[in-house]
Every structure is written in C-alpha cells, then in structure tokens.
Amino acid sequence: MSDLTRLSIADLRAGYARKAFSATEVTKAYLAAMEKARALNAYVLETPEKALEMAAASDKRIATGTVGALEGVPLGIKDLFATNGTRTTACSNILGNFVPTYESTVSSQLWRDGGVMLGKLNNDEFAMGSSNETSAFGPVVNPWKVAGYNQQLVPGGSSGGSAAAISGFLAAGVTATDTGGSIRQPAAFTGTVGIKPTYGRCSRWGIVAFASSLDQAGPMARTVRDSAILLKSMAGHDPKDSTSVDLPVPDYEAALTGEAKGLVIGIPKEYRVDGMPAEIEALWQRGIEWLKAAGATIREISLPHTKYALPAYYIVAPAEASSNLARYDGVRYGLRVPGDDIVDMYEKTRAAGFGKEVRRRIMIGTYVLSAGYYDAYYVKAQKIRTLIKRDFDLAWEAGVDAILTPATPSAAFGIGAKVDADPVEMYLNDVFTVTVNMAGLPGIAVPAGLDGDGLPLGLQLIGKPFDEPTLFRTAGVIEQAAGHFPVKPWW
C-alpha cells in the first residue's frame, strides 16, 4: 500500500469513486511516510489523530456517495494558517504555543470540501526568508540532493515545509503563501507546481499577516491539475476580508486543454539578468519552443521597471511588516518576558521572541516609516509599484496573454551557504517573482527540467488579473512537454 502516497489528487478522486482504497488507508500511508521523513523537518506539528478522524468521516461520506471536491485528500497546512484547536506559530518563538480559537477561511474551505489535515508545515519565521532557514523550528531539508553528494540543500522559502512535503510524498496537496515569491521559488527548488493567485482571489482572513498588500495564499502540488483542483477550493469571496474579490471562481481544471493555440506569450528582455547561469537561459529557450509547438505565438516584450521591483519591495514589505507585527506585545498571546515597566516588557518580549531576520525587517520598516522618511521611502516605493504595474498593463493591452520567465536565478543551494552573506544576496532569490506581487498578478511555477547536477529548475508564467485559467492551460503544456520529476527518497 506504500504506493498510495504516489497518487495525484486526481488519482485519489478516481480511486475513491471506484472504491479501490479508503481515505483511512491513504491517510495511514501518509502518516507512516511522515514518520519516516522526520529528518526533513517538513512538519512542525503532526496531527495523526485529527487526520484519522477526518479520514473516517470522509469514508462515511464516500460510502453514501456525497463527496466534496477534496474528499479524503490528505493535506499539509503551512503554519501561517490559523487552525482551530491546533497550534499555529508562524514558526516564530513569539507565538509560542498559540492555539487559535478560529479557523482561517482558506483552510476551512478545504475541510468543507472533504480534505484531511495531516499537520502543520514548517516555514521561514513569519514567512520572511527564501530558504526556510529563519524558522524557529530549524531548517527544512530539500528532498533533492546532488547525485553522489551528501550535502543537504534548502527547499527554498518561505514555504519550504510545504515544498518538501509535496515533493517528498508527505502530503497530496499543501497550502502555502506568497509575499515575494514564497510559493513559486520553493516550487522551483523542489520540482513541484505552485501558484500565487491574483491578489484578492483567496481570503487572507486567519492567515498570519506579513505584508498585507502583497500576501496571497495559494496551493502547491505535484501536478498542474492538482494545483487547479486545490485552488478551486481555496479561492472565493469572504466577507471577513475586505480585499477579497467577489468574483465567481472558475472551473480551473476545465482550462487544461493541452494546447496553446492562439495564445500570445510575452518574453520580457529585462529578465535576462547579468550572471544568469547558461542552464537557466537554455531552460527558458526550451519553454519557448514547447509553447510554440503547442500553437502559441512568442513575442519579445519590455517591462522596463523590472529591476526596481526588488528594492521597492524591500521598502514596502518591511514597512507593512513592522506595522503588522506590532501586535506581538506579550499581552494578548504568545511569549512574554517580564520587564520593569510596560515598555521594558514589550522590548524584552520582542527581542527574545523575534528571530534575527524578523528583527532586521521590523527595524528597516520602522525606519522607512519614521518621521521625515515616509515620503522618501514608502511613498516613493508605492509610486514605483504603479510604474511596475503599468509595464504589465501595457503588455496586456498590446495583446499579450501570459508572460514566460525563469522562476529563479539558480537551482537550490546548500543549507548554510548564504547564512553569513549580506542579507541582500538572499533577497536576490526573488528577483523574478517579486514583480508579480508588486503588481498583484497571478504567477505559476512549473517544473521544466533538471540542471547538470540533477536538481530541478522551474519556469514561471505570469498572467492577467484573475486569468488563472490561462496560467493553468499554459503550465499544463509545459508540464506535458517537460514531464514529471519525482524525487528518489533517500531518507
């Protein structure tokens, strides 16, 4: 029965329909796989009792024939999503043993549709990081390794636990969040599919906030079809999030037509950055050829403000984070370190509870918002955001349907390799993904090949607002041409 963890969500759906196995059997297979894979540190909390209880309920519904879209599908939940009665920490010491008394809207929709919760997944502390090394629970190990070498690699971040769980067959589907690339970069580093939907497509209610104008939830999965199935359940309007959009959720699976006839795919020349490895350039070229062969027209385009997206992001995101994270004060929840007076208590609590990267970002954010600097930094960065979005708008107006770029400037790197480097070096991981958050657009990362070391590389497709169907359709073409990249378990 160990093969059950190899099945896609679509396979599980078909298997349950013909009673080939039960949700309890599938869930047990995943729980056993999770136990064997603890060295990867993908899960920060396993919830086997809850999983078996939910699987038993699924089996009852399967027996009566009233099944939801994710009936009996074992899922991992990033620890940024509040789960009612189950510890939620954002992988920060400052939340300590916080046990929410409410459920995030996105996860509640997964349970509404019959999903089974396996546990909570590791991530960079408050989703601030690109390697999952800032987590208070320690780094996640990428299931991928360079053939013949023992060095452990990062799975990317911030959704590193999500990426390792999906690529290491430790969940059939996972939730993740993306503020500057936190779904797409780890997907690329682990040979999996990850989509950041349009801003407003998924409710942010009940998700620990990082930078509210950039944060979006999305799924990661092993196939494009599975990511389409998951997004359908996660998306939708929520009265509790005033930035969630009241638009019908399309049938994303129906978009998977296997061809790209009539589509105009833009290739932005500004994404050809200095020092980009030849392998990434070659991968991009292969992607272009695959889409051409599937009927798409390729057009070179210009997004002139691309290079300013990352520096503008490192003003906007820390500014919003410094404001959002003001709530961790040692009074209402989480850690508290006693002090001589209330300010001393705040300062000691926050110094002890936040990790290094989080403290650094709060301080940058506080500085750029402080008196006399607000216009020079924050307002200026928001103006640059307008220009970045305008670049994309001009491309759409000129008839471009989607934009193809590399997902990351490199394959996965070693754990610890960038720890002592300048923080900016780590930030450069998000150079291809961050523009999408700044403009609020949807973006999908899809595995497209292996590099010379045998590590996965991904391509990214960027779409028009709420045009996720075209992204699934186009990503499906790349997936068909490139094939799948299952990891060989060594753990």
Q: Catalytic residues, which ones?
A: 78, 158, 182
Segment interacting with another protein, rule: CB under 8 A, options 15-23, 162-170, 176-184, 328-336? 328-336
Contact call for residue 392 and another protein (CB under 8 A) = no
Contact call for residue 333 and another protein (CB under 8 A) = yes
Residue 135: name the closest of 159, 153, 152 by CA.
159
Contact call for residue 345 and another protein (CB under 8 A) = yes
- Work out how close the CB of 176 gets to another protein at its nearest, in angstroms, rounded to a whole number: 20
Tell me how far apart the alpha carbons of residues 259 and 175 are, in angstroms, rounded to a whole number: 28
Considering CB under 8 A, how many residues would be counted as binding another protein? 75
- Which string of x and - marks every residue 226-265 that binds another protein (by CB under 8 A)? -------------x--xx-xx-------------------
Contact call for residue 367 and another protein (CB under 8 A) = yes
The DSSP string of 391-445 is HHHHHHHTT--EEEEES-SSS--BTTTTTTS-HHHHHGGGTTTHHHHHHT--EEE
SS (H, E, C) 181-239: CCCHHHHHHHCCEEEECCCCCCCCCCECCCCCCCCEEEEEECCHHHHHHHHHHHCCCCC
Three-state SS at 22: coil
Structural contact between residues 249 and 235, judged by C-beta atoms closer than 8 angstroms: yes
Question: Which of 14, 20, 147, 342 contacts another protein by CB under 8 A?
Answer: 342
Specify which residues 75 forms β-bridges with: 117, 173
Select 125 or 253, whichever has its Cβ closest to another protein: 125
Question: Which of 112, 307, 327, 484 contacts another protein by CB under 8 A?
Answer: 307
244: Cβ–Cβ under 8 A, 6 or more apart, which residues? 200, 201, 202, 203, 204, 205, 236, 237, 238
Contact call for residue 422 and another protein (CB under 8 A) = yes
Contact call for residue 384 and another protein (CB under 8 A) = yes
**Helices 23-36 and 48-64 meet at what angle, rounded to 10?**
160
Segment interacting with another protein, rule: CB under 8 A, options 61-69, 95-103, 224-232, 402-410? 95-103
Select 175 or 349, whichever has its Cβ closest to another protein: 349
Select 385 or 473, whichever has its Cβ closest to another protein: 385
What's the longest Cα–Cα distance across the chain?
Answer: 70
Tell me how far apart the alpha carbons of residues 219 and 78 are, in angstroms, rounded to a whole number: 10
Structural contact between residues 220 and 174, judged by C-beta atoms closer than 8 angstroms: yes
Question: Which of 314, 432, 472, 485 contacts another protein by CB under 8 A?
Answer: 314
Contact call for residue 145 and another protein (CB under 8 A) = no
Question: Residue written as tokens 């407003």?
Answer: 200
Contact call for residue 354 and another protein (CB under 8 A) = yes
Question: Residue written as tokens 């991968």?
Answer: 283
Select 427 or 485, whichever has its Cβ closest to another protein: 427
Select 278 or 371, whichever has its Cβ closest to another protein: 371
Question: Which of 335, 403, 444, 457 contacts another protein by CB under 8 A?
Answer: 335
Contact call for residue 288 and another protein (CB under 8 A) = no
The token pair at 401 is 């349907």
Contact call for residue 204 and another protein (CB under 8 A) = no
Contact call for residue 346 and another protein (CB under 8 A) = yes
Contact call for residue 311 and another protein (CB under 8 A) = yes
Contact call for residue 200 and another protein (CB under 8 A) = yes
Select 142 or 437, whichever has its Cβ closest to another protein: 437
